[in-house]
Amino acid sequence: MGPELAITGMVAVGLVLALQAPVNGALGRLTGPLWAVLISFLVGFVVLLVISGATGGIWRLGSLGAVSPVFLAGGLIGAVYVTVAAWSVTRIGAGAVAAATVAGQMSSALVVDHLEVLGVEGEAIGLVRVIGALLLVAGTVLVARRAGTPLTSGEGERVLLMTGAVFVAGLLVGVQHPVNSTLAETTGGVQAALLNFAVGAAVLGLLIAIVKPPGSIRAARSASPWLFAGGPIGVVVVLASLGAVPVIGAAAIAAATVTGQLAGSSLLDRAGLLGLEVRPVDRTRAIGLSLLIAGTLLVL
């Protein structure tokens, strides 16, 4: 596989990734948000279990004892992020969720690089990368802002609050990648993803048992098959990234995936698919998207 094909493939993966939060959000309207995310993790876990068993890699899980428990935190982070994204996407739109995720993820990656923690060979935060981070934040605000709605109004403040929650969850995602990468060095990529889904499902199951949220997993019986795609989408993203890393590197993967995710989420908002409110790509949102892409390229 050549670099051009790999980059094109990761842009396509980003387009698919844009569907994950709206799909989980739509399922959540039937089952309740927490139940929907649990279903997503369980489906992804089953898919990865089958893949791991078919390839014989499941036996590498025996090396798990050599891994520090901190490197199992990827599943916890994934559960937090997917829950926040599914809860907020129907309220602020797929574009705002994608924008806040990108801004948070790239911002925390800056800090991880600067501090050289979690096995990352770092790069100091310079002026160019700081400008990139500021562009990410500015772009997120522009994408999330509703036309004609002042940010200081009640509705504007609600949108900013939800966007901020996704941004914080995105900060955690920026830590998740180096954690998962370190885990994959010991267990293998597919097995690391399998453990992530297992930990995420266990955390969500425990949370549901404690909180007893409204809704029920039984309501999923009436759901369209498309609404169970959240877990497989996560699997596709993980496996595609593993395959593309040796060809184009992590930085190019991030840039290509971000481009696809932002484009895909904007199209979803424009069409109002999966129960999302229609949000046209006006000049303000177009400028915001441009700032996000520019900020990503400066941060990388």
Percent of the chain with pLDDT strictly greater than 90: 31
User: How high is the pLDDT of residue 112?
Assistant: 77
- Mean pLDDT for 251-270 is 84
Between 50-64, 212-226, 257-271, the lowest mean confidence (pLDDT) is in 50-64
DSSP H/E element including 172: helix 154-187
What are 199-224's pLDDT values in tens digits? 999 999 999 999 999 888 999 999 99
**Cα dist from 4 to 8, 14, 94, 136, 253, whole Å:** 6, 16, 28, 26, 12
What are 108-150's pLDDT values in tens digits? 877 877 776 666 566 677 888 889 889 988 999 888 876 555 5
Q: What is the DSSP letter of 151?
A: T
Between CA 163 and CA 140 the distance in angstroms is: 8
- Mean pLDDT for 33-39 is 94
User: How high is the pLDDT of residue 34?
Assistant: 92
- Give the number of domains in the chain: 1
User: How high is the pLDDT of residue 151?
Assistant: 56
Distance of alpha carbon 286 from the chain centroid:
22
More confident position, 59 or 279:
279
By residue range, what is the domain housing residue 94?
Answer: 3-299
User: How high is the pLDDT of residue 228?
Assistant: 95
User: How high is the pLDDT of residue 61?
Assistant: 67
User: How high is the pLDDT of residue 259?
Assistant: 85
Let me know if 221 is exposed, middle or buried by CB neighbors in 10 A (0-12, 13-18, 19+): exposed
User: How high is the pLDDT of residue 66?
Assistant: 66
Question: CB within 8 A of 247, min separation 6: which ones?
Answer: 1, 2, 3, 6
pLDDT band, very low/low/confident/very high, at 54 (cuts 50, 70, 90): confident
What are 18-35's pLDDT values in tens digits? 999 999 999 999 999 999
